[in-house]
Amino acid sequence: MERASGPAKFAVFQLHKSVGITILLLMLLRIAWKLRRRPLPLKADGWERALATAVHLAFYLLLLAMPLSGWLVVSASRVAVPTLLYGTVPLPHVPVVISLAAETREGWYRGSASVHSYLSYGLYVLIGLHVAGALKHHFLDRDGSFARMAPGIRPGSLLDPRLLLIGAAASSAAVFGFGWARGRNVHRPVQSVEATPPRPATPVQQARQETYEQAAAAAPDAPVAAEDVPSWTIEDGSSLSFSTSWAGEPIEGGFRRFRGSIEFSPDQLDRSSVAITVDIGTVYTGDSSRDETLKGGEWFAVGTDRNAVFRAERFRSVGRGRYVAEGTLRMKGATAPLSMPFTLQINGNRALVEGSAVVDRLAYRIGEGEYASTAEIPADVTVRIRVEARRR
C-alpha cells in the first residue's frame, strides 16, 4: 500500500480503509454476540491460560484501536481525501476532528498515524503468538481447541482439508502481497525520459510541416512576425518533458506531440515571437493507467481542450547565448504569465534551443479535488523544452 504510486495508491488506500471499517463493524457485532453468550472455558491452565486470555483481550483492543486510529488519520489529514467504502458507501470524517484548528489537527494526525503504525506491529506479535498457540493445541495437546474455530477438524491431523486451506490461504496472501509489492517496484515511474517509449516519428514530422498560419489558427491571436525575422521549423529530436513527484517519488513525463511557430533572431529580439501549441492529450508518464487518469477532468481535461499554448513576444538577452522569453501559458481555460529562460545555439541553418521553467499546476487547476493538495504532489512542475530547429 505504501509503495504504490499514482492512482494505484489511491485505489489501494480506499481498499485498505474499506476492509478496515469492515473489521470495525465485525468487531462490534462480535462484542455484542460475546456479551449475550457465555464463552466456553479455555482448554488451558496456569500461565498458558493467562497468556491466551491476554492475547485474546489484546486482539479485541487492537482490532478496535486499529480501525479507529486509521479513521482518525484520514479525518485529521490536511489532505481531505474522501473515502468511499468499496467504491459505494461514503465514510464521513470524524466530526470533531475536522473542525479543529489546523495546528491541533496536525497534532492529531501525527499522533493517530503513529498509533496506527505502532499498533500494527503489536498485531503481528499477537498473530504470531496466537497461531503458535493454536498449532500447539492442535498438534501437541490434541485437545480439540482448533475444532472450535474449524468444526470437524480432528485433533493432530496434518492433512485435514481445512488446515491445508488455512495454510494455502495464508501463503497465497503472503506471495500475492510480496509479488504485488515487487511488481509495483518494477513498474515504478521511469526515472529518466530516455526510459519512456520512443516518441513516434510521425507527429514530429507533422510538427515539422506545420506552417506559421496553421499554428496561428490554433492560437488565434498569435502575433504576426515581421517578414525579415527568420522563421524556424521544429525538427525531429525535439522534446517537451516535465518532472514532478508523487509522495516523494520522482515522476518524469512529457508530451509526445507539439507544434509551433518560431520567428526569432538574436539581433531582433523586439520583433521575435514564439507560439508553441502542445497536444496535452499526448501526455505520458511511463504508466499507461496513470496517463489515462491524467487525461480526465480532474487533470488535463483533454475532452474540453486538447491544446496548451505558450506564446511569447518579449525576449531579454541575459548574456552568452542565454535569453528569457516572457510570455503566457494558456491551459485548461486558464492563462497565466510564464517566463522561460533558454539557451540558443545557432549553427548555420540549424538551431538548438533548451529551456526550462517552473509551472504552478494549481494556476491551471491541473489536479482538482483531492489532487489539489500539495501534500503528495507539489504545485511546482518543472517543464523542459528542447527544440531542434531549421531555418526556413
How many residues contact ligand HEM, by CB under 6 A? 33
**The three three-digit cell numbers of residue 226, written as one number:** 515581421
**For the chain, how many helices (H) and strands (E)?**
8, 13
Residue whose CB is less far from ligand HEM, 121 or 320? 121
Taking the C-alpha atoms of residue 321 and residue 324, their distance in angstroms, rounded to an integer, is 10
**The three three-digit cell numbers of residue 208, written as one number:** 515539422
Is there binding between residue 70 and ligand HEM (CB under 6 A)? yes
Is there binding between residue 56 and ligand HEM (CB under 6 A)? yes
Residue whose CB is less far from ligand HEM, 30 or 392? 30
Residue whose CB is less far from ligand HEM, 134 or 269? 134
**The three three-digit cell numbers of residue 46, written as one number:** 496456569
Q: What is the DSSP letter of 298?
A: T
Q: Which one of residues 12, 15, 129, 166 is an interface residue with ligand HEM (CB under 6 A)? A: 166
Taking the C-alpha atoms of residue 295 and residue 284, their distance in angstroms, rounded to an integer, is 10
Residue whose CB is less far from ligand HEM, 146 or 300? 146
Q: Which one of residues 26, 29, 34, 80 is an interface residue with ligand HEM (CB under 6 A)? A: 34
Taking the C-alpha atoms of residue 102 and residue 49, their distance in angstroms, rounded to an integer, is 47
Q: What is the DSSP letter of 332?
A: T
Least distance in Å: CB of 118 to ligand HEM? 8
Taking the C-alpha atoms of residue 2 and residue 65, their distance in angstroms, rounded to an integer, is 20
The contact mask relative to ligand HEM for 9-28 (x = CB under 6 A, - = no) is -------xx--xx-x-----
Residue whose CB is less far from ligand HEM, 170 or 217? 170
CA 135 to chain CA mean position, Å: 41
Q: How many residues does the chain have?
A: 392
Residue whose CB is less far from ligand HEM, 66 or 385? 66
Query: Could you tell me if 60 and 27 are in contact, meaning their C-beta atoms sit under 8 angstroms apart?
Result: yes
Taking the C-alpha atoms of residue 264 and residue 134, their distance in angstroms, rounded to an integer, is 79
Residue whose CB is less far from ligand HEM, 152 or 319? 152
How many other C-beta atoms can be found within 10 angstroms of the C-beta atom of residue 310? 25
Is there binding between residue 346 and ligand HEM (CB under 6 A)? no
Taking the C-alpha atoms of residue 108 and residue 25, their distance in angstroms, rounded to an integer, is 23
Residue whose CB is less far from ligand HEM, 43 or 208? 43
Please, which of residues 73-92 interact with ligand HEM by CB under 6 A?
A: 73-74, 83
Buried-exposed string 326-340: b where 16+ CB fall within 10 A, e elsewhere: ebebbbbeeeeebeb
Is there binding between residue 65 and ligand HEM (CB under 6 A)? no
Is there binding between residue 39 and ligand HEM (CB under 6 A)? yes
Please, which of residues 96-155 interact with ligand HEM by CB under 6 A?
A: 113, 116-117, 120, 123, 127, 130-131, 134, 145-146, 148-149
Footprint of ligand HEM (CB under 6 A): 2, 16-17, 20-21, 23, 34, 39, 42, 56, 59, 63, 66-67, 70-71, 73-74, 83, 113, 116-117, 120, 123, 127, 130-131, 134, 145-146, 148-149, 166
